[in-house]
């Protein structure tokens, strides 16, 4: 390949943008699908040519682990509308005859994928907007955003001021500048991305049909036909890629529009060589353009979409690393949300509130480099990425535990996933099959079931709510009743359409004062909803986020009471400190708020304390439990324990795609309580109409692979549902999974199949829970006698 001319002109940046139905996530597939379906009809609807080519796309597997990844992605796509197939090398060569087939093992094929001219698409969207009554004014740079007391905004531009009920920051490269106008530092960073365009290649010109878009994942580049030549764009490693640092420190240059950066062929040369090996005709091709332009990245490469916590009626649609394929779907998603008051489906992974004060510029740059460089790496379940870690948001126990365990990243926090013992393999070994954590997690499971274990739960989101309207607000927010003073319950916030927006633990500490606990990834997601309802309803309450002030230790297992009783004068007996009761007490000399609850389903307490007391509290408990054989356990073991107890998890078994009745949460939903809680009327209608599907618990006998969630459920040769989460059950030594299936297939004993890595494994609907919780066992023991349990 020879370079004929250096790119110096304003060649249209991202001359033809790629479109694909594929996404490794779940509901982002719906965004891709909506975008493509919009673009397909746009020319007919607006009369504007959009230059949409749909030759399909093929992802190439040249290693066995990549084939496993394709199988993993197939089961996650089977219950969606998207067409996707694994194809054999012979079919790949038929579709893309210019390939060197020596290393190719399989392909992942998406019909309907392709590329589109972004300029023509933009003009067509503008024409469509005008057709339906929109007024477009440009250039109209925003110079200031002024919030008003009623929640509306004054938007200042050189063309005048306008009043807006809400603002949506969709400013692309300038999103950070707009964010600063309202006091926010959005974690975005511009990176340079290059692509290469060749002159005419005789072998390409001779083709009878357009080549599918090719993605060589090991070579880390995409390649497609460009007229009678080829265009390919690499994603270089995080060490070689370039961040546009000056834009971060000094802002986007005034007037920046179609300009490009200086090209750098040397930076991408290893990918050029990989492309020439995979597509040999490139060796004789001339380069006519090397285009280098900016893309805005968030730390995890996913965009930030939705309302932002802390600033009323301020929404964002920013950080699009793959803008064109997200644009149509996100536009519809946001407009539906604004019109109907709730998201049309769950996209928690795009929530702008997944970031917080811990997301520094240094962290953002480190993660953006990593995300760019990892564009085409194998996407494993339980994947961890280590750039930018740890953040400032570590718990008090981080330094004590980091050398003893494999940590997971949770909203800026480091939390133990599993612990290792001397002589065990401590390396991070991701896999689609059981890997080096399988046996250690089994030991932790046994530790909690037979003795006593301690877990760091500090990443929980924690809110304090008090004031004269606190009870009335929470009664409006939650479908459950408000717990009595000194007690705790599990409560759910529903959307107006009766779907599960959030699950929280609600503790009534003193009259009118509550401690609310949510999962780490839901902290600001849930806080925003609560704050918005409080403001809109005019409730006289004080809401405080105390997540970073408190540490949390969980202690669980049959000896948990015995260990804790050594350290406190408070009577911890079952009759005095009841299940779901909360008390303030002293553990040794450390003040804690103790809640008798455990996500393991075993006897246990969660101990909320000042973050600076975490080390002392941990040491005291571990020392006190030596006789009982106390030890640590992590979140992997906790997940196995909660699944056996049939405990649902928000984000898996329930979210904005599910209603609480189909999720089996009836016990927590009080339709007869006097308060007209959000979603109550919708839920009554859902109940009256009857359910179409139910959440069930499945056991399945596999070999070396366990369900993770989002796998396809098969019955009678058809996909009929999906798993939501899964694990290995160390009690019955089988795989265990939650799954949504049609009501007619939800009876105990029903046989279905679960697709895992290309194999359909027989599965059986079981009576849940697989293992009774400690409180349930205790009640039966008192009723029937120990011998009958």
Structure tokens at 759: 């194999």
For 34, the 3-state DSSP assignment is helix
SS (H, E, C) 437-496: CHHHHHHHHHHHHHCCEEEECCCCEEEEEECCCHHHHHHHHECCCCCCCCEEEEEEEECC
Q: Please, are residues 140 and 89 in contact by the beta-carbon 8 Å criterion?
A: no
227 pLDDT exceeds 70? yes
Burial category of 510 from C-beta neighbours within 10 Å (exposed 0-12, middle 13-18, buried 19 and up): exposed
Q: Is the dihedral of CA 278, 279, 281, 285 positive or negative?
A: negative
What digits encode the pLDDT tens for the residues 516-552? 999 999 999 999 999 999 999 999 999 999 999 999 9
The more confidently predicted of residues 365 and 6 is 365
Structure tokens at 293: 């332009």
Half-sphere exposure of 245 (CA within 13 A, CB side): 6
Q: How confident is the model at residue 784 (pLDDT cuts 50, 70, 90)?
A: confident
**What's the Cα-to-Cα distance from 93 to each of 90, 96, 202, rounded to whole Å?**
5, 5, 18
Mean pLDDT of 723-746: 98
151 pLDDT exceeds 80? yes
Burial category of 120 from C-beta neighbours within 10 Å (exposed 0-12, middle 13-18, buried 19 and up): middle
Share of the chain above pLDDT 90, in %: 94
- What is the reported pLDDT for 712? 98
Mean pLDDT of 172-192: 95
Q: How confident is the model at residue 9 (pLDDT cuts 50, 70, 90)?
A: very low
Averaged pLDDT of the chain: 95
DSSP string, 159-187: TEEEEES-EEE--GGGHHHHHHHTT----
Q: How far apart are CA 678 and CA 692, in angstroms?
A: 22
Q: How confident is the model at residue 254 (pLDDT cuts 50, 70, 90)?
A: confident
Q: Please, are residues 527 and 589 in contact by the beta-carbon 8 Å criterion?
A: no
- What is the reported pLDDT for 556? 98
Element (DSSP H or E) covering residue 43:
helix 28-46
Q: Please, are residues 244 and 253 in contact by the beta-carbon 8 Å criterion?
A: no
Return phi, psi of residue 90, to 5°: -65, -40
Structure tokens at 606: 């969660």
Q: How far apart are CA 334 and CA 767, in angstroms?
A: 40
SS (H, E, C) 541-608: CEEEECCCCEEEEEEECCCHHHHHHCCCCCCCCCCCCCCCEEEEEEECCEEEEEECCCCCCCCEEEEE
What digits encode the pLDDT tens for the residues 12-38? 444 458 999 999 999 999 999 999 999
Q: Please, are residues 33 and 84 in contact by the beta-carbon 8 Å criterion?
A: no
Question: Buried (b) or exposed (e) across 402-416, using 16+ Cβ within 10 A?
Answer: eeebbbbbbbbbbbb
What digits encode the pLDDT tens for the residues 590-641? 999 999 999 999 999 999 999 999 999 999 999 999 999 999 999 999 999 9
Question: Buried (b) or exposed (e) across 194-232, using 16+ Cβ within 10 A?
Answer: bbbbbbebeebeeeeeebbbbbbbbbbbbbbbbeebbbb
786 pLDDT exceeds 70? no
Mean pLDDT of 167-184: 96
Which among 493, 23, 531 is positioned nearest to 313, based on CA atoms?
Answer: 531
**What's the Cα-to-Cα distance from 309 to each of 305, 530, 547, rounded to whole Å?**
12, 10, 15
Element (DSSP H or E) covering residue 527:
helix 523-536
For 616, the 3-state DSSP assignment is helix
- What is the reported pLDDT for 16? 57
Q: How far apart are CA 5 and CA 13, in angstroms?
A: 17
Q: How far apart are CA 596 and CA 582, in angstroms?
A: 6
The more confidently predicted of residues 216 and 323 is 216
Cβ-proximal residues to 688 (8 Å cutoff; 6+ apart), any chain = none
Q: How confident is the model at residue 788 (pLDDT cuts 50, 70, 90)?
A: low
Q: How far apart are CA 769 and CA 357, in angstroms?
A: 40
Which among 565, 63, 1, 475 is positioned nearest to 265, based on CA atoms?
Answer: 1
Which of left, alpha, beta for 610 (phi over 0: left; psi -120 to 50: alpha)?
beta
């Amino acid at each position: 390949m020879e370079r004929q001319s250096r790119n110096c002109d304003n060649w249209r940046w991202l001359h033809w943008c790629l479109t694909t139905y594929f996404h490794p996530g779940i509901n982002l597939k719906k965004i891709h699908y909506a975008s493509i379906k919009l673009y397909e009809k746009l020319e007919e609807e607006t009369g504007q040519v959009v230059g949409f080519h749909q030759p399909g796309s093929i992802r190439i597997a040249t290693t066995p682990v990549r084939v496993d990844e394709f199988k993993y992605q197939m089961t996650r796509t089977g219950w969606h509308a998207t067409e996707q197939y694994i194809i054999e090398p012979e079919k790949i060569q038929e579709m893309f005859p210019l390939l060197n087939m020596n290393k190719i093992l399989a392909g992942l094929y998406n019909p309907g994928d392709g590329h589109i001219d972004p300029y023509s698409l933009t003009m067509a969207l503008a024409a469509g907007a005008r057709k339906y009554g929109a007024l477009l004014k440009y250039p109209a740079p925003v110079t200031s955003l002024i919030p008003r007391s009623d929640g509306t905004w004054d938007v200042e531009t050189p063309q005048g001021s306008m009043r807006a009920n809400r603002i949506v920051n969709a400013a692309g490269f300038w999103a950070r500048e707009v964010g600063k106008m309202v006091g926010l530092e959005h974690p975005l960073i511009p990176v340079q991305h290059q692509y290469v365009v060749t002159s005419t290649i005789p072998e390409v010109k001779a083709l009878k049909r357009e080549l599918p878009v090719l993605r060589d994942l090991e070579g880390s580049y995409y390649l497609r036909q460009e007229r009678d030549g080829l265009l390919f764009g690499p994603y270089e490693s995080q060490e070689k890629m370039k961040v546009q640092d000056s834009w971060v420190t000094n802002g986007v240059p005034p007037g920046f529009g179609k300009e490009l950066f200086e090209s750098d062929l040397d930076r991408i040369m290893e990918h050029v060589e990989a492309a020439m090996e995979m597509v040999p005709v490139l060796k004789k091709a001339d380069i006519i353009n090397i285009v280098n332009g900016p893309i805005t990245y968030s730390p995890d490469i996913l965009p930030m979409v939705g309302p932002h916590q802390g600033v009323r009626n301020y929404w964002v649609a920013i950080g699009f690393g793959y803008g064109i394929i997200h644009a149509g779907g996100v536009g519809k998603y946001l407009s539906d949300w604004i019109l109907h008051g709730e998201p049309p489906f769950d996209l928690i992974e795009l929530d702008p509130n997944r970031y917080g004060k811990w997301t520094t510029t240094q962290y953002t740059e480190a993660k953006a480099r990593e995300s760019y460089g990892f564009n085409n790496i194998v996407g494993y379940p339980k994947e961890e990425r280590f750039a930018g870690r740890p953040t400032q948001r570590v718990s008090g126990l981080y330094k004590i535990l980091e050398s003893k365990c494999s940590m997971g990243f949770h909203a800026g926090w480091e939390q133990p996933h599993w612990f290792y013992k001397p002589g065990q393999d401590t390396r991070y070994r991701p896999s689609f099959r059981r890997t080096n954590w399988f046996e250690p997690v089994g030991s932790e499971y046994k530790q909690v079931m037979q003795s006593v274990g301690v877990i760091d739960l500090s990443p929980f989101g924690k809110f304090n709510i008090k004031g004269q309207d606190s009870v009335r607000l929470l009664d409006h927010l939650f479908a459950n009743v408000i717990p009595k003073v000194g007690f705790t319950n599990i409560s759910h916030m529903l959307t107006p359409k009766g779907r599960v927006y959030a699950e929280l633990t609600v503790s009534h500490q003193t009259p009118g004062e509550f401690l609310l606990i949510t999962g780490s990834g839901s902290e600001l997601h849930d806080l925003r909803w609560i704050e918005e309802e409080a403001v809109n309803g005019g409730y006289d309450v004080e809401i405080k986020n105390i997540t970073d002030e408190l540490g949390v230790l969980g202690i669980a297992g049959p000896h948990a009471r015995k260990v804790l009783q050594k350290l406190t004068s408070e009577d911890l007996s079952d009759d005095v400190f009841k299940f779901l009761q909360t008390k303030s007490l002293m553990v040794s000399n450390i003040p804690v708020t103790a809640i008798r609850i455990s996500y393991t389903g075993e006897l246990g307490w969660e101990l909320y304390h000042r973050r600076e007391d975490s080390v002392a509290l941990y040491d005291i408990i571990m020392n006190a439990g030596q006789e009982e054989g106390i030890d640590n356990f992590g979140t992997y073991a906790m997940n196995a324990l909660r699944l056996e107890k049939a405990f649902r998890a928000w984000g898996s078994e329930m979210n904005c795609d599910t209603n609480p009745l189909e999720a089996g949460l009836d016990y927590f939903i009080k339709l007869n309580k006097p308060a007209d809680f959000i979603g109550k009327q919708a839920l009554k209608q859902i109940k009256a109409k009857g359910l179409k599907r139910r959440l069930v618990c499945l056991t399945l006998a596999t070999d070396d692979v366990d369900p993770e969630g989002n796998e396809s459920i098969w019955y009678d040769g058809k996909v009929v549902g999906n798993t939501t989460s899964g694990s290995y059950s160390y009690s019955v030594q089988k795989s265990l999974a939650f799954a949504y299936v049609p009501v007619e297939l939800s009876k105990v004993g029903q046989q279905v199949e679960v697709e895992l890595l290309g194999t359909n494994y027989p599965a059986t609907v079981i009576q849940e829970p697989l293992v009774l919780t400690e409180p349930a066992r205790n009640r039966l023991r008192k009723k029937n006698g120990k011998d009958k349990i």
